[in-house]
Structure 1
């Protein structure tokens, strides 16, 4: 039988945990700043301009500095990125996104470590990954003498 009582209980607890996370203050801030990011005309203009410049930049990179517009496009791409990054809506959204990601990383590590100290939980965050066994890929659960 695939659906044992234990599995049903685990799934129910996971759903409860997911509901708590989605109802958290961090998730509410994330949704609010995402809405502001998507609905602000000036912010969207800056994002579109950066995406356009990024595409030009990638095209220029095929030829490197031998492309006639290499220097101009390189500078304009950096300026567009800086303008986008300094936009208040983008900055607040990234901050909210990082806060929510930190919660998800911490929950993932707690769950993984409660099962075994050798479970690898890739978080994408070097702070958390350094506490994870092997921090990246031997696949032996610490059997390779790495810093598990």
Structure 2
């Protein structure tokens, strides 16, 4: 692969775009919420408890409802997940993560559609799926029987 001036310009502009995204308010909020999430001892305890219960849950699922602890593990796993999800730091992090992901999805769509209207851009967000019967971003080349 030869390095042409055109390729170098594209790479430079892509790096500039990445820098702008990294300096954005959304990226700043993401970093702050990420740091808070991993530095708060109570939040980390909730996450660890959920992971532990999730492991138990996966173990119980091998036997299904015939496992003697099936019902209690199911309930305890859901409670641990609710505790974790209701934590202020987890909620703030998820909100910041989604905001940053939206920016990246928009940029991907703009770049992809500026190349060609037929480019499939995997966003995973049904908002971006235009005239398609799938939920967007299948990337299977029509294997999911979408109309894209």
The 3 A distance-change label for structure 1 pair 45 and 14 is same
Using structure 2 for the length normalisation, give the TM-score: 0.91
1:127-138 maps to which residues of 2 (within 5 A)? 127-128=127-128, 130-131=129-130, 135=136, 136-137=138-139
Using structure 1 for the length normalisation, give the TM-score: 0.91
- In the other structure, the counterpart of 1:108 is 108
Q: Distance in 2 between matches of 1:138 and 1:33?
A: 34
Shift of 1:132: 7.7
- In the other structure, the counterpart of 1:8 is 8
The 3 A distance-change label for structure 1 pair 22 and 72 is same
**Alpha-carbon deviations, 1:26-75, whole Å to 9, x = none?**
00000000000000000000000000000000000000000000000000
Q: Distance in 1 between matches of 2:131 and 2:72?
A: 44
The 3 A distance-change label for structure 1 pair 52 and 15 is same
Q: Distance in 2 between matches of 1:61 and 1:24?
A: 43
Question: May I ask how many residue pairs the two structures share in their alignment?
Answer: 143
The 3 A distance-change label for structure 1 pair 22 and 76 is same
CA RMSD of aligned residues (A): 1.8
Q: Confirm or deny: 8 A CA contact 1:57 1:77 kept in the other structure.
A: yes
Shift of 1:131: 2.1
Q: Confirm or deny: 8 A CA contact 2:84 2:90 kept in the other structure.
A: yes
Structure 2 residue runs of 5 or longer lacking an equivalent are none
Q: Confirm or deny: 8 A CA contact 1:57 1:74 kept in the other structure.
A: yes
Q: Distance in 1 between matches of 2:61 and 2:50?
A: 16
Q: Distance in 1 between matches of 2:119 and 2:3?
A: 24
Shift of 1:138: 5.5
Shift of 1:9: 0.2
Shift of 1:147: 3.5
Shift of 1:120: 0.5
